[in-house]
């Protein structure tokens, strides 16, 4: 009945309700892949619209009652809602950007829209409150609810086990990536789609759940100030949304990618992509980032071929797999190995995995999901004397005796990010300065997820748990507090890194 190019592995039907062919429209509930390009979910919804000859309605909603909701995260997401509403309207799609004016006010909106829909399509994002929200929707939506995974180059369910090291995951993806790169999302699923025009939303729905005001969408601070969210975490200077994401990607590939390998670790080099907030909110697809790099590097997909049929043999090595420059390969190591490793942990973690086949039987956000060796060494050193302890309040404002750490916290406060190398050091010092490793975990989550635009993501959990030993091995010598957990110090960072301008900018 429907001809859709979305790979089966990326598609899940979440309830047993039928498709209602005489519904008024197809509903795409955009909750994670907040973009119109390279989006398998939107592609699926467009395919349903064409197959059923019904208009497409896109609900992009933003709740305000979730933990850490603030001006910063809201502004960034709403910038994207404005971009998306414009692009959808230009393609004849009815966009309903809805921002909750009060916690819980949006309750009932999805149900009301779904009641008149033929089918509902939504995104499959395996982290934060989204899986619970979709599971609850699946129990209420009166028509078929499909969930589509547009998270990465690999479908999040491509693997059948949780990987505990980056190397084992790399060996896996190198074996199968050729097959998955052959099933790319459409660059612009709305282009030439010729969808039936949508009527305005029923008045009762539009009155009770009105679309976000033009003032809010276009960035009026007063409109944001009226929302019941944390106003102490201010918006950052950079704009959110697919438009800004595309510009940042183009600048990165043209100007910084050639320096990525040499410069990534050095805060003064400014060589990293800065794409993580856009990837986190779905304003940018990993597929689009990959395509931009591949184009610049003259990459040919035939190099990979189908499993076993390509030119390259998967070796598990970090370099040489793509046949691109060393800088491009280093960037893809982050974008593919490290980023998708985090999604693997969430997609196949205990909550949804099927037990016996998994090597990891706990929720990846539980302290106990750390590897046994890490749990043992942290427990052994839990009672070691801590020369310095800082309360959360002192850490939050960057008021420690460590100038580099304070600078990285100030960067987080002002920009909503921390330079990658310093982010590792930032976490290691929190472990050193906390009463227990569990307390360190809580502090890292609280600071990261409150202030970082890319927080509340599978990579937040990967990075924070990496500080405590996940995806790592034991390192000697055994030390106080850390045991055999990898140690990092500000003194060594000061020696190794180009930091002068960074400190001038952020150190008080
Ligand atoms: C304590 C700690 C907390 C972290 N919290 C987050 C977080 O909340 N959200 C987040 O996206 N990343 C997090 N990371 C990982 C990493 O620091 C950031 O992804 C990276 O710094 C983002 O900057 P960039 O986009 O310029 O990265 P680039 O170097 O340009 O890398 C490109 C992309 O690859 C991915 N990536 C890069 N490094 C890593 C990594 N180590 N692990 C997983 N994916 C990676 C990101 O999606 C990134 O945008 C954390 C790391 C640590 C040590």
Confidence band, pLDDT 50/70/90 cuts, at residue 353: very low
Confidence band, pLDDT 50/70/90 cuts, at residue 356: very low
Q: Which of 60-64, 180-184, 359-363 has the lowest mean pLDDT?
A: 359-363
Q: How many of the other CB atoms lie within 10 Å of CB of 308? A: 9
CA-CA distance, 274 to 489, in Å (whole number)?
24
Give the Å distance between the CA of 473 and the centre of ligand 1. 20
Q: How many of the other CB atoms lie within 10 Å of CB of 504? A: 10
User: At residue 96, what are phi and psi to the nearest 5 degrees?
Assistant: -120, 90
Strands 144-148 and 11-13: antiparallel
Confidence band, pLDDT 50/70/90 cuts, at residue 401: very high
Q: Which letter, b or e, does each residue of 65-87 get, where b requires 16 or more Cβ atoms within 10 Å of its Cβ?
A: ebebbbbbbbbbbbbbbbbbbeb
Angle at 431 between CA 426 and CA 437, to 5 degrees: 145
Which residues belong to CATH 1.10.579.10 in the chain?
A: 367-506
Tokens of 413: 């406060």
Confidence band, pLDDT 50/70/90 cuts, at residue 319: confident
Q: Residue 454 CA: which ligand 1 atom is closest?
A: 9
CA dist list (Å): 401 to 291, 314, 333, 405, 433? 44, 47, 35, 9, 11
Give the Å distance between the CA of 202 and the centre of ligand 1. 43
Q: What is the 8-class DSSP label of residue 161?
A: S
Tokens of 86: 């414009």
pLDDT of residue 31: 98
Torsion (CA) 86, 87, 90, 93 in degrees, nearest 10: -100
DSSP 232-253: TSPPPSS--SHHHHHHHHHHII
Tokens of 425: 């050091």
- CB 11 within 8 Å of CB 41: no
Task: Enumerate long-range contacts of 199-203, CB under 8 Å, 24 or more apart.
Answer: 199/24, 199/55, 199/94, 200/94, 201/57, 201/94, 201/96, 201/113, 202/116
Tokens of 75: 């502004």
For 222-239, write each residue's pLDDT tens digit. Answer: 999 999 999 999 999 999
Question: Does residue 423 have its Cβ closer than 6 Å to ligand 1?
Answer: yes
pLDDT of residue 311: 61
Which residues belong to CATH 1.25.40.80 in the chain?
A: 242-349
Question: Does residue 279 have its Cβ closer than 6 Å to ligand 1?
Answer: yes
For 245-271, write each residue's pLDDT tens digit. Answer: 999 999 999 999 999 999 999 999 999
Confidence band, pLDDT 50/70/90 cuts, at residue 358: very low
Class of domain 367-506: mainly alpha
Q: What is the mean pLDDT of residues 361-369?
A: 87
Class of domain 242-349: mainly alpha
CA-CA distance, 133 to 116, in Å (whole number)?
20
pLDDT of residue 359: 44
pLDDT of residue 300: 86
CA-CA distance, 387 to 335, in Å (whole number)?
38
Q: Which letter, b or e, does each residue of 457-489 get, where b requires 16 or more Cβ atoms within 10 Å of its Cβ?
A: bbbbbbbbbbbbbbbbeeeeeeeebbbbbbbbe
Question: Does residue 265 have its Cβ closer than 6 Å to ligand 1?
Answer: no
Question: Does residue 464 have its Cβ closer than 6 Å to ligand 1?
Answer: yes
Question: Does residue 412 have its Cβ closer than 6 Å to ligand 1?
Answer: no
Ligand 1, atom 49: nearest CA belongs to which residue?
276
CA-CA distance, 247 to 434, in Å (whole number)?
40
Question: Does residue 243 have its Cβ closer than 6 Å to ligand 1?
Answer: no
- Residues whose CB falls within 8 Å of the CB of residue 130, separated by 6 or more in sequence, listed in order: 31, 32, 123
Is 357 a residue whose pLDDT tops 50?
no
pLDDT of residue 355: 39
pLDDT of residue 316: 82
Is 279 a residue whose pLDDT tops 80?
yes
Question: Does residue 274 have its Cβ closer than 6 Å to ligand 1?
Answer: yes
Question: CATH fold of 1-150, please?
Answer: Rossmann fold (3.40.50)
Q: How many of the other CB atoms lie within 10 Å of CB of 12? A: 15
Place of tokens 């960057």: 398
Is 295 a residue whose pLDDT tops 80?
yes
**Strand pairing partners for 98?**
61
Give the Å distance between the CA of 420 and the centre of ligand 1. 6
Cis check: omega of the bond before 477, within 30 degrees of 0: yes
pLDDT of residue 306: 56
Q: Which of helix, strand or coil describes residue 139?
A: helix
Burial of 368 (0-12, 13-18, 19+ CB in 10 A): exposed
pLDDT of residue 172: 96
Please, what is the average pLDDT of the chain?
94
Give the E-state strand segments of 205-322 in sequence order: none
Which residues belong to CATH 3.40.50.620 in the chain?
A: 1-150
Give the Å distance between the CA of 453 and the centre of ligand 1. 11
Question: Does residue 276 have its Cβ closer than 6 Å to ligand 1?
Answer: yes
Is 349 a residue whose pLDDT tops 90?
no
Tokens of 117: 């829909």
> In the chain, pLDDT over 70 holds for what percent of residues?
95
Is 4 a residue whose pLDDT tops 50?
yes
């Amino acid at each position: 009945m429907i001809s859709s190019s979305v790979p089966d592995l990326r598609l899940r039907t979440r309830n047993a309700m039928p498709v209602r062919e005489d519904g008024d429209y197809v509903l795409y509930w955009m909750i994670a892949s907040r973009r119109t390009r390279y989006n398998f979910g939107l592609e699926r919804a467009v395919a349903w619209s064409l197959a059923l000859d019904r208009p497409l309605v896109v609900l992009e909603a933003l709740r305000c009652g979730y933990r850490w909701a603030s001006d910063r995260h809201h502004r960034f997401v709403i910038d994207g809602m404005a971009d998306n509403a414009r692009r959808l309207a230009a393609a004849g799609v009815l966009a309903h950007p809805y921002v909750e004016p009060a916690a819980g006010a949006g309750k009932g909106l999805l149900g009301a829209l779904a009641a008149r829909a033929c089918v509902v399509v939504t995104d499959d994002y395996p982290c934060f409150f989204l899986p619970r929200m979709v599971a609850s929707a699946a129990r209420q939506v009166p028509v078929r609810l499909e969930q589509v995974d547009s998270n990465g180059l690999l479908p999040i369910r491509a693997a059948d086990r949780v990987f505990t090291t980056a190397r084992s995951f790399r060996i896996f993806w190198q074996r199968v990536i050729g097959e998955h790169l052959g099933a790319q999302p459409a660059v612009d699923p709305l282009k030439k789609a010729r969808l039936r025009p949508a009527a305005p939303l029923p008045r009762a729905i539009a009155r009770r759940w009105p679309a976000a005001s033009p003032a809010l969408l276009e960035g009026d601070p007063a409109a944001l100030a009226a929302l019941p969210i944390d106003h102490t975490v201010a918006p950052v200077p950079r704009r959110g949304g697919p438009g800004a994401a595309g510009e940042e990607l183009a600048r990165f590939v043209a100007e910084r990618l050639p320096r990525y390998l040499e410069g990534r670790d050095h805060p003064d080099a400014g060589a990293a992509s800065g794409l993580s907030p856009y990837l986190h909110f779905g304003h940018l697809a990993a597929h689009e980032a990959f395509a931009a790099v591949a184009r610049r590097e003259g990459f040919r997909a035939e190099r990979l071929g189908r499993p076993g049929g390509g030119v390259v043999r998967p070796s598990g090595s970090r370099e040489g797999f793509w046949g691109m420059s060393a800088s491009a390969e280093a960037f893809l190591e982050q974008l593919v190995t490290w980023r998708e490793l985090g999604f693997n942990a969430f997609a196949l973690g205990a909550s949804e995995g099927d037990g016996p086949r998994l090597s990891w039987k706990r929720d990846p956000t539980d302290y106990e999901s750390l590897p046994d060796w890490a749990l043992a060494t942290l427990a052994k050193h839990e009672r070691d004397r801590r020369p310095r302890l800082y309360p959360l309040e002192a850490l939050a404002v960057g008021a420690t005796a460590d100038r580099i750490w304070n600078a990285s916290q100030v960067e987080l406060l002002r920009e909503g990010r921390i330079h990658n190398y310093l982010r590792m050091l930032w976490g290691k010092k929190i472990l050193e300065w906390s009463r227990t490793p569990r307390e360190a975990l809580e502090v890292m989550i609280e600071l990261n997820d409150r202030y970082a635009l890319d927080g509340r993501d599978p990579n937040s959990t990967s990075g924070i748990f990496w500080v405590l030993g996940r995806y790592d091995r034991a390192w000697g010598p055994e030390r106080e507090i850390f045991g055999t957990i990898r140690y990092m110090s500000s003194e060594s960072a000061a020696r190794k890194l180009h930091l002068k301008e960074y400190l001038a900018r952020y150190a008080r």
